Amino acid sequence: MAMDFTTVLTSDAYRDLLTALVSLDAHLHRLHAQRGESLYREDVEGADADFRDGQQISVKENGILPSHREVADWKSASIEYYLNDLRFEMLVVHWGGGFLNAYLQTDAREMRRLIQEGRLENYHSVLTAVGNALSCVAGLGDIELDLCPFPPASFPVSIFRNESKGFLPAALGLLSTAHFSESEILQMASDLFEVEHLTEYLLLKGKDYPEPRIHS
């Protein structure tokens, strides 16, 4: 059975979904990521985002544009992208609390292949592009991550106590250096994470990253 590795990023910089999607698409395009043909409206109820409600718009030719006003009343949407041979899906949800989450979903087998080929930086470049596009303050990643709200205020604690993982540390953490003290994060990470710099972000790599294990 295929499992997903999901990284969720959080931002309170956008007040509507369409503006966020336009910025996201533009940043990924500059990264030379190829988009899928359609943007799908997702039906998100609590922690469930497992099915589409059938509404979609074609973005094959011109991408996601500010003129796509039919998206104005959407609360969540998903679209596929390809960067070289890395396929990933972006699910963006504007939650009622005034913040949004962007869930970057990748087949866990893709993560293993990237590390075997020494190309994990491709995944990290996508994380940075999404973070910059949406002015994200933080994020975390793990296998089979719950698609539930992750508000900015829940970080950095949620990285060190991932509820989806029985309150164990997440496999991956991402923290904006503009919002968090690097010295404090390095102290908190201690022997739990290896810390790497990704331009405006600190990447926290857990002991089981990038091949996270399911914890019971």
pLDDT greater at residue 46 or residue 141: 141
* Mean pLDDT calculated for residue range 163-173: 85
In the numeric block, which tokens belong to residue 201?
């972000």
Q: Which alpha helices (DSSP H) does the chain contain, by range?
A: 17-30, 108-116, 121-134, 157-160, 182-189
Looking at residue 180, its pLDDT comes to 93
- Check if the beta carbon of residue 180 is closer than 8 Å to that of residue 156: yes
Cβ-count burial of 6 within 10 angstroms (0-12 exposed, 13-18 middle, 19+ buried)? buried
DSSP string, 128-154: HHHHHHHT--EEEEEET-------GGG
The chain-wide mean pLDDT, for the chain, equals 87
- Model confidence pLDDT, tens digit, residues 111-133: 888 888 888 889 999 999 999 99
Mean pLDDT of 127-155: 94
Please tell me which of 1-10, 70-79, 151-160 the model is most confident about, judged by mean pLDDT: 151-160
- Tens digit of pLDDT for each residue in 2-58? 588 999 999 999 988 999 999 999 999 999 999 999 999 887 764 444 445 568 888
Reply yes or no on whether the pLDDT at 109 is more than 70.
yes
pLDDT of residue 89: 95
Domain ranges of the chain: 7-206
Q: What is the pTM of this model?
A: 0.90
pLDDT of 215 strictly over 80: no
Per the CB < 8 A criterion, the answer to whether 174 and 138 are in contact is yes
